[in-house]
Structure formats: structure tokens, C-alpha cells
Amino acid sequence: MSDPVIVVDGVRVSYDERTVLENVSLTVNAGSFVGLVGPNGAGKTTLLQTINGVTTPDAGTVTVQGTSVQSASARDIAQRVGTVPQDGPRGFSFPVRDIVAMGRHPHRSRFDRSEPQAAITRAMERTETIALADRTIDTLSGGERQRVRIARAVAQETPALVLDEPTASLDITHQVRTLELVRSLVNEGKAAVAAIHDLDLAARYCDVVAVLSGGSILDSGPPEAVMTPSTIETAYGESVDVHVHQNPVTKTPSVTTIDERAADLN
């Protein structure tokens, strides 16, 4: 299971005069989970947006299963890439089942009046949101809403999955539960790419970690190879003192950072 699903090649994105991404290339294979790490403003979200069609690159190409994201219709892309966005507007009161059903939107014709219940129920069972089916989205907690957004992307039944900070603002249990779920989807053959702030979680769940800094990919590869003090210091700035050790429980790299200026004050 190593067919490339998402291929980003030499992508450049700039807003007005500011270049956000410069010559970024990234490949995500089927059955592989790629974690994008890097400081705030490094371009992680923008890179994800070039994959799901929200942003069109100024140069370079992005293909998903051989289909060019730039030239395909939104519908064609949405049939191939499922997106789990960060928390968005929720000033409306759709029941959870209807929100998950929206994941089927790219697969249905305008005149299709049937309800694709099977795919919706499957997605809700998978994400343990079936008990929430009749609750409205505005009555859920942050963690529950996150699971509903994942359920929607699962209902999309796409070969590729894009997740923007899936663990942000979740408690430690929900963080692990969310990434375990993504991991199991990837083990079934999906290609997933996620922006993740927590380096330890990225190291624990991802097959490949790509370090993005200043709009370019600094290094990418297996967590053990990429997460070295020098790479992380380069990415996050020289003012942090980085220590990498092996987590005794998960046997994956764990990063501890110490602000040198604060250390000096002590």
C-alpha cells in the first residue's frame, strides 16, 4: 500500500506580496499518515488548503489520485479529499445526522432526493457519534463537535483525508481518541495529512513527519529521523533549547523545550 495519493509538487502560494509557501513538495501514500509540524505561521494550513482546493497555488501542482486539484471542480475534489476543518461557525441548529449527511453532498446529484442512510450511519458508528445523531450541533461540547466533523469527512468516503489541527483545544483523552481514529482509518488504506502542534503526538501517530518552517519544508521522514534537536531548533527558532528523548511508554521521540532566556534568568 504505497501508491502515492496526494502529490504536492513545487507549490508556491503568496498573498499580495507575502509568500506563504515556497517550492513545497510532499507525497502522501495510501496507508500513510503524514503530520505537518512547525511554528505558527509556517504555512501548515495553507498547504492543507492547496490539497483540498480552498487555495489555488501560484506555481506548482497538486494532484490527488492523479487528478489535478487546480483544474478539477470542487465536486471532483470533494469526492477524493475529505476535510476535517478547525471549529467553524455553528450559529445554526442542524441535527448531527444532517451535518454528517452533508459529507455525502459531493456524491449526490442535485435531483437526488434519497437519503444515503447507510454511509451516514456507518460514519457515525465509526466515530461513536451515533448516540448524538438527533442532538443539534450547537448543544454539543467541543470534543463532540470535533468527532462530528470527523464523521462528516468519514461519510465522504474519500481516499484522502486532510485534518487541520485535529487535536487543538481538545483535552488529552479526546486528543488520543481522535488520533487513534485517524490512525485506524489510515490502516485501512486512506492517505491522511494533518497539521499537528503537539510534536509528541505527531511522533506517536504519524508515519512521516514533515517540518514546515517559513513556508518551506525543512525536513521530512520517519519521526525518529526528523525530530532531532537541530531540526527543531532551526524550525522554531534558536532561542529554544531542545531535548529529544524516547518516551518510555510509547517508544517514540518526545520533545522537551526550554526557553534559554528563561533558563538564564533562573
Partner 1 sequence: MDRWKRTGWWILWLLLAFVATVVWSVTVGPVAIDPLTVCKILLNEIGIPTSIGMHSANAGGTVLSVPGIDLEFVHPFSFAVSESAQVIVTRIRLPRIALAAAVGFGLATAGTVMQGLFRNPMADPSIIGVSSGAAVGAVAVLVLPIALPFGVPLIAFFAAIVTAFGVYLLASSDGRTPVATLLLAGVAVQTFLGAVVSYLLLHAGESVETVLHWLMGDLAAATWGDVGVAAVGSGTAFCVLVGYSRDLNVLLLGEEQAITLGIDVERTKQVLLGLASLATAAAVAVAGVIGFVGLIVPHMLRLVVGPDHRILLPTSALSGAIFLVATDTLARSGPAQLPVGIVTAALGAPFFLYLLRNREVHQL
Q: Among 18, 111, 238, 249, which residue sits at the site for partner 1 (rule: CB under 8 A)?
A: 111
Q: Which is nearer to partner 1, 32 or 83 (CB)?
A: 83
Is 94 or 168 the residue whose CB approaches partner 1 more closely? 94
Answer for which of 63, 83, 127, 254 binds partner 1 (CB under 8 A) is 83
91 scored as a contact of partner 1 (CB under 8 A): yes
Question: Burial, 8: exposed, middle or buried (Cβ in 10 Å; 0-12, 13-18, 19+)?
Answer: buried
**Region binding partner 1 by CB under 8 A among candidate stretches 12-20, 108-116, 226-234, 250-258:** 108-116
Identify the CA nearest to 158 among candidates 69, 86, 47.
69
Bridging pattern class, strands 240-246 and 216-221 = unpaired
Characterize 54-63 residue by residue with b for buried, 16 or more Cβ atoms within 10 angstroms of its Cβ, and e for exposed: bbebeebbbb
Establish if 98 lies at the interface with partner 1 (CB under 8 A). yes
Could you give the CA distance from residue 147 to residue 139 in angstroms, rounded to a whole number? Answer: 14
Among 35, 38, 60, 103, binds partner 1 (CB under 8 A): 103
The helix/strand/coil state of 7 is: strand
| 161 lies in the binding site for partner 1 (CB under 8 A) | no
Taking the C-alpha atoms of residue 210 and residue 236, their distance in angstroms, rounded to an integer, is: 14
| Min dist. Cβ of residue 172 to partner 1 (A) | 27
Part in contact with partner 1 (CB under 8 A); list of ranges 23-31, 97-105, 166-174, 235-243: 97-105
For 136-193, give the DSSP string. BGGGS-HHHHHHHHHHHHHHT--SEEEEESTTTT--HHHHHHHHHHHHHHHHTT-EEE
Question: Is residue 131 near partner 1 by the rule CB under 8 A?
Answer: no
**Between residues 83 and 175, which has the closer beta carbon with respect to partner 1?**
83
Binding site for partner 1 (CB under 8 A): 52-54, 73-79, 81-83, 85, 88-89, 91-94, 98, 102-103, 105-106, 108, 110-111, 113, 115, 138, 152, 156, 162
